[in-house]
Amino acid sequence: MSFFHFVAVDPLALLLPSAIYQKIIEGIHPHVPKVADIQQAARSMTPEERTFTLARARSLASYAKVVEEAIAGMK
């Protein structure tokens, strides 16, 4: 199976609560979020949602770092 048969997942969809994600993507085209956009969306999140979102972002960053190191280390 070719790699290009897979559909990309927007990382923000994995990080943000659905209602917040919907608000932020409505105003972004092309979909390139800015810090200010995320901060504005985060203002409407509960403290628990912010904590959960930050933990998920850190988790995804850890996975991304492992993938980056694995591929960069290949020759």
**Under 8 Å between Cβ of 37 and 9:** no
Tens-binned pLDDT, residue by residue, of the chain (75 aa): 455 555 667 888 888 888 888 888 877 666 677 888 889 989 999 999 999 999 999 999 999 999 899 989 987
CA dist 43 and 22 (Å) reads: 14
**Under 8 Å between Cβ of 43 and 23:** no
Please give the radius of gyration of the chain, using alpha carbons only, rounded to the nearest integer: 15
CA dist 71 and 15 (Å) reads: 24
SS3 34: coil
| Residue 47, preceding peptide bond in cis (omega within 30° of 0) | no
